[in-house]
Chains A and B, each alone.
Chain A
Amino acid sequence: MTFQAILFYLFGAVLVAAGLAVITVKNAVHAAMFLVLAFFTAAGIWLLLYAEFLAITLILVYVGAVMVLFLFVVMMLDINFAKLREGFWRYLPVAATVAIVMVVEMALLLTSKSFGLATTAAAPAADVSNVKSLGRVLYTEYLLPFELASVVLLIAIIAAIALTLRTRKETKYQNMGEQVRVKAADRLKIVKVKSEVDEAPAASATSAGEGSKS
């Protein structure tokens, strides 16, 4: 067994174990951490396949960005896991049947000759850089899809802002511009109150006092 094969089996074993742990551990944060481990080992397998760019992207994008966001969400949401697990045993027979059928089907498909999966691609020469060739086709041959992908992102930005940025009536936010532009006359309002000394001096004194307070 070559060193590469040993590495493959090592990564493969850790990947499968981590994948199983993701769906079996009870704590959602632990599950997310196991998913991170699964991504790392998958990246290792991709490295063995000479796909170093994909491996790096997987770690940067998924581990670095997606999983962090995911952890935030898991921590912020108050999910009632007991309720989610309700009826697990009741649905198990149906779910297990579906799962077994799918496993058998996939096994039949993946092992059959007609899919042509038995042949493997030849390993590239040692001096071929994955990153360089990807970069080259991305900006030349795939220029149009690259630009279109940027439009997709622009739409996502516009849509996300349009859907979340709303002025709610009940929020008491401060309008800085108006605060700066305030004039002295806006703050102090002088109300002329007619004196009613002539009629009932005692009553008018209290009402005037109340008037100045309000």
Chain B
Amino acid sequence: MNHNIILALPEVTLLILIGGIMMVDLFSAPEKRADRLMGLAVITLLIVGAAVYNPFVEARFAFNGMFVVDGMAAVLKVAMAACLLIGLLYSRDHLEKRGLFTGEYVMLMLFALLGMMVMVSANNFVTLYLGLEIQALSVYALVALQRDSARASEAAMKYFILGALASGLLLYGISMVYGATGSLDIEQVAKSVGFSQGNTALLAFGLVFVVAGLAFKLGVVPFHMWVPDVYHGAATPTTMLLSTAPKIAAFAFIVRILGDGLAGMAGDWQLMLVFLAVLSLAIGNIVAIAQTNLKRMLAYSTISHMGFLVLGILAGTNNGYSSSMFYVVTYALTALASFGMILLLSREGFEAENLEDFKGLNQRSPWHAFLMLIVMFSLAGIPPTVGFFAKLSVLQAALEAGWVWLVVFAVLMSVIGAFYYLRVVKLMYMDAPVDTAPIGGNAVAGSLLTVNTFALLLLGLLPSGLLELCRRAIAASF
């Protein structure tokens, strides 16, 4: 029996610190509570980020092979903790003005991080599933916490019911895989699939359900129905949380299940992923054009970006995985900046979530308009922003794997997609402002947004560092 608990140090630390926050929340005077919660949450995220292991050593296992610490897990854990930290700094003011900055909000957020960290480090279907449930349950509750908003309650209900259904599908698929291979351990499953020892009909049947469940979690077409409603209905900080770190975790989840466990069935799942990618790219980009609400537009934009992510994964090569990893990390950074801008422009009793609210932003504040311009360019994939390099590397990987028509299709779709991102730019620079209130916002959040946006530009000019990191992390993991 080899537990090797020390390898799970970041997760254990996080859980203990969450418990500490719970106690502090209970015994703090109401007027001091928010500051203490904020301070503790920031410290927790910094500690957890620092506790992650060196990514460049070979994979090490803990808890009888249920838990793995490898390059991919280490890099993604740091990325997720960073996403949460930046998101928290952006959203504190917004939450506080709406009475949502409570101990529960902070705790559930950190619990979601715990679930995601377990997901990226899981080496067994049971651990993967439990990590997913920890994350999903926390996020359902986070969406529902805004009890006074009918839209948030509706979004939470839809998300919860569809999410539970997807978990059921996934679990059903996993049970089939277990039935066919006789193991839940990812290495064992990979071995018996590789030697085609298992029952292939049963395995293929299970695979369909697994892919459907994963597709729902990632929010790709045709399992995307929840995405626009939840993005629109949830409070903006929750939407921001939802569109950043969980996407990173979902990437790791898919690579672990499909790329690692069911690698022997790549021929089967590649076709399914092609279907998902084509539909997501088409529907995400085309339907986004019709949106007038920025949060809904970003929801459809997420769907199309996840289509790109799937494109890298379906290449089925290390190069594909590493470019998808680069894609998802930089996408999270871009999404943080775009939602951060919405949060910065919102104020008490007003949400800057409609496209109209961005009209004439250049006249109100040229600096903010310029930052938003970079973010939109990055989402659209226009050089020299990082969005361009992310798309380029994913397309290269897909091209190497021989999916020429798919690459052509993806490029066409992203050209269509560029329209609605550039429309925001047009509204900001060429229209007269409707809303003339001064732009306030917290100085910390404002400067962080500037840093975040310039990181998009910097990574676009010098992408090789992060790209190399992803490449080495994936190479160390597979």
Asked if B144 contacts A144 (CB within 8 A), the reply is: no
Asked if A152 contacts B137 (CB within 8 A), the reply is: yes
Q: Which residue of B lies closest to A151 (CB)?
A: B134
Q: Which chain B positions have C-beta within 8 A of A115?
A: 199, 201-202
Q: Which chain A positions have C-beta within 8 A of B202?
A: 114-116
Q: Which chain B positions have C-beta within 8 A of A149?
A: 130
Asked if A2 is at the interface (CB within 8 A of a chain B CB), the reply is: no
Interface residues of B in 102-143 (CB under 8 A from A): 102, 104, 107-108, 111, 114-115, 118, 124, 126-127, 130-131, 133-134, 137-138, 140-141
Q: Which chain B positions have C-beta within 8 A of A178?
A: none
Mark the stretch among A7-15, A153-161, A205-213 that contacts chain B: A153-161
Asked if B141 contacts A114 (CB within 8 A), the reply is: no
In the complex the two chains form, what is the Cα distance from A159 to B108 in whole Å?
Answer: 8
Q: Which residue of B lies closest to A164 (CB)?
A: B147
Asked if A99 is at the interface (CB within 8 A of a chain B CB), the reply is: no
Asked if B3 is at the interface (CB within 8 A of a chain A CB), the reply is: yes
Asked if B138 contacts A148 (CB within 8 A), the reply is: no
Asked if B104 contacts A114 (CB within 8 A), the reply is: no
Q: Which residue of B lies closest to A163 (CB)?
A: B144
Asked if A107 is at the interface (CB within 8 A of a chain B CB), the reply is: no
In the complex the two chains form, what is the Cα distance from A144 to B127 in whole Å?
Answer: 7
Asked if B138 contacts A145 (CB within 8 A), the reply is: no
Q: Which chain A positions have C-beta within 8 A of B107?
A: 158
Asked if A163 contacts B141 (CB within 8 A), the reply is: yes
Q: Which chain A positions have C-beta within 8 A of B124?
A: 145
Interface size class for chain B?
A: 35 or more
Interface residues of B in 50-82 (CB under 8 A from A): 62-64, 66-67
In the complex the two chains form, what is the Cα distance from A152 to B115 in whole Å?
Answer: 9
Asked if A162 contacts B134 (CB within 8 A), the reply is: no
Q: Which chain B positions have C-beta within 8 A of A112?
A: 201
Nearest CB on B from A76, distance (A): 20
Asked if B133 contacts A114 (CB within 8 A), the reply is: no
Nearest CB on A from B328, distance (A): 24
Number of A interface residues at 8 Å Cβ cutoff, please give it: 24
Nearest CB on B from A86, distance (A): 22
Pick the contact of B130: A141, A152, A162, A163 (CB < 8 A): A152
Asked if A156 contacts B64 (CB within 8 A), the reply is: no
Asked if A148 contacts B199 (CB within 8 A), the reply is: no
Asked if A144 contacts B145 (CB within 8 A), the reply is: no
Pick the contact of B118: A148, A159, A161, A163 (CB < 8 A): A148
Asked if A142 is at the interface (CB within 8 A of a chain B CB), the reply is: yes
Asked if B127 contacts A141 (CB within 8 A), the reply is: no
In the complex the two chains form, what is the Cα distance from A27 to B66 in whole Å?
Answer: 47
Nearest CB on B from A120, distance (A): 13
In the complex the two chains form, what is the Cα distance from A144 to B115 in whole Å?
Answer: 13
Q: Which residue of B lies closest to A145 (CB)?
A: B126
Q: Which chain B positions have C-beta within 8 A of A161?
A: 104
Nearest CB on B from A202, distance (A): 53
In the complex the two chains form, what is the Cα distance from A114 to B131 in whole Å?
Answer: 33
Asked if B137 contacts A155 (CB within 8 A), the reply is: yes
Asked if A162 contacts B104 (CB within 8 A), the reply is: yes
Asked if A148 contacts B134 (CB within 8 A), the reply is: yes
Q: Which chain B positions have C-beta within 8 A of A156?
A: 137
Known: A159-B138, A162-B141, A163-B141. A114 touches B147 (CB 8 A): no
In the complex the two chains form, what is the Cα distance from A163 to B160 in whole Å?
Answer: 14
Asked if A151 contacts B201 (CB within 8 A), the reply is: no
Q: Which chain A positions have C-beta within 8 A of B8?
A: 144
Contact with A along B304-327 (1 / 0, CB 8 A): 000000000000000000000000
Asked if B134 contacts A152 (CB within 8 A), the reply is: yes
Contact with B along A121-155 (1 / 0, CB 8 A): 00000000000000000001111110011011011
Q: Which residue of B lies closest to A144 (CB)?
A: B63
A selection of 15 A-B contacts at a CB cut-off of 8 Å is A114-B202, A115-B202, A141-B64, A143-B63, A144-B8, A144-B63, A145-B124, A148-B134, A151-B15, A151-B115, A159-B104, A159-B140, A162-B102, A162-B104, A162-B141
Please give 13 more A-B residue pairs, beta carbons under 8 A apart, in addition to A115-B202, A145-B127, A158-B108: A114-B200, A115-B201, A116-B202, A142-B66, A144-B67, A145-B66, A145-B130, A148-B130, A148-B134, A151-B115, A155-B111, A155-B138, A158-B111
